């Protein structure tokens, strides 16, 4: 079945269990509004923020929400780093692309000066700091992380020229305890530590995402409970199970997704294979 037929069968505007949900239909996790409020203040003054947690809890969606919300503010420039594992030369090349500065990796001092001049000019005109968002930041090498700290520091560290939001798994906060990165870790002012979600929060997520996708009636209440009970507090696990059920239901042209389908699909997967008798 093609994606268009699947959507038409259930009256969906998009598949709510895939990652490419539109920005204006993203679910806001608990505590998000407080985090964003603090980020808005950070954008005015510059500094560092950290989003961390186990895989599957929605860190990348946090940054997607943040990018979307910051993009609505006049005069705020948002750059999203796509290759955090780069060496120092490629790091400068990407920073130049993100902030509209022509840089030569062979002349890092020239790149250093050009970026800072670009940011200073922007601050003088708008009073806002440029924003750099880095997902999978646990993959960055220490030299690039420290370069970010030095790039943003001005007037003997009394001013920060841009705002950086680092997002990564549980290894990232641990890295900031090491001797080579403790100076950067001590400068992080805003933190969001994502934890596995409670059942009620997962149910709220399902209700919200199905409503936004145009099919609040897609799942029975019993199925929603079953998914929330078996997701281990993890949004990625929840979406993976729900996405598989959606495909199975569409193949059978079932009018809705229910707990009977859940048992058929997942109890069969959990049954151990029968051993052959030799």
The yes-or-no verdict on residue 268 having pLDDT over 80 is no
- Domains of the chain are 3-21+197-268 (1.10.8), 31-193 (3.40.50.300)
- pLDDT tens-digit map of 34-48: 999 999 889 989 999
- What is the model's pTM? 0.89
- Please, which pLDDT band fits residue 275 given cuts at 50, 70 and 90? very low
- pLDDT tens-digit map of 143-154: 999 999 999 999
- pLDDT tens-digit map of 85-127: 999 989 999 999 999 888 776 778 888 899 999 999 999 999 8
Average pLDDT over residues 160-186: 95
The yes-or-no verdict on residue 190 having pLDDT over 60 is yes
User: What is the per-residue pLDDT for 64?
Assistant: 94
User: What is the per-residue pLDDT for 269?
Assistant: 60
The yes-or-no verdict on residue 273 having pLDDT over 80 is no
Average pLDDT over residues 260-267: 92
For residue 180, give Cα distances in angstroms to 18, 82, 137, 154: 38, 24, 16, 20
- The average confidence (pLDDT) of the chain is 91
- Please, which pLDDT band fits residue 157 given cuts at 50, 70 and 90? confident
The yes-or-no verdict on residue 278 having pLDDT over 90 is no
The yes-or-no verdict on residue 223 having pLDDT over 60 is yes
């Amino acid at each position: 079945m093609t994606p268009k037929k699947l959507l038409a069968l259930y009256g969906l505007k998009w598949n709510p269990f895939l990652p490419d949900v539109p920005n204006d239909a993203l679910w806001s996790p608990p505590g998000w509004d407080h985090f964003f409020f603090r980020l808005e203040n950070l954008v005015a003054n510059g500094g560092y923020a950290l989003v961390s947690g186990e895989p599957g809890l929605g860190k990348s969606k946090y940054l997607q929400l943040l990018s979307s919300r910051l993009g609505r503010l006049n005069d705020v420039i948002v750059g999203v780093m796509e290759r955090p594992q780069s060496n120092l030369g490629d790091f400068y090349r990407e920073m130049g692309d993100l902030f509209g500065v022509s840089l030569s990796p062979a002349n890092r001092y020239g790149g250093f000066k050009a970026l800072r001049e670009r940011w200073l000019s922007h601050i003088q005109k708008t009073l806002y700091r440029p924003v750099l968002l880095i997902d999978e930041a646990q993959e960055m090498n220490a030299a690039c992380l420290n370069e970010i700290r030095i790039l943003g520091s001005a007037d003997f560290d009394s001013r920060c020229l841009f705002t950086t939001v680092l997002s990564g798994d549980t290894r990232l906060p641990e890295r900031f305890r090491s001797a080579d990165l403790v100076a950067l870790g001590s400068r992080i002012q805003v933190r969001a530590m994502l934890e596995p979600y409670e059942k009620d929060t997962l149910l709220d997520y399902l209700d919200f995402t199905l409503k936004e996708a145009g099919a609040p009636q897609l799942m029975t209440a019993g199925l929603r409970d079953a998914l929330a009970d078996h997701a281990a507090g993890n949004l990625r696990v929840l979406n993976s199970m729900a996405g598989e059920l959606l495909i199975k239901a569409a193949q059978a042209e079932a009018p809705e997704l229910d707990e009977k389908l859940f048992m058929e699909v997942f109890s069969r997967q959990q049954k151990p294979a029968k051993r052959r008798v030799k």
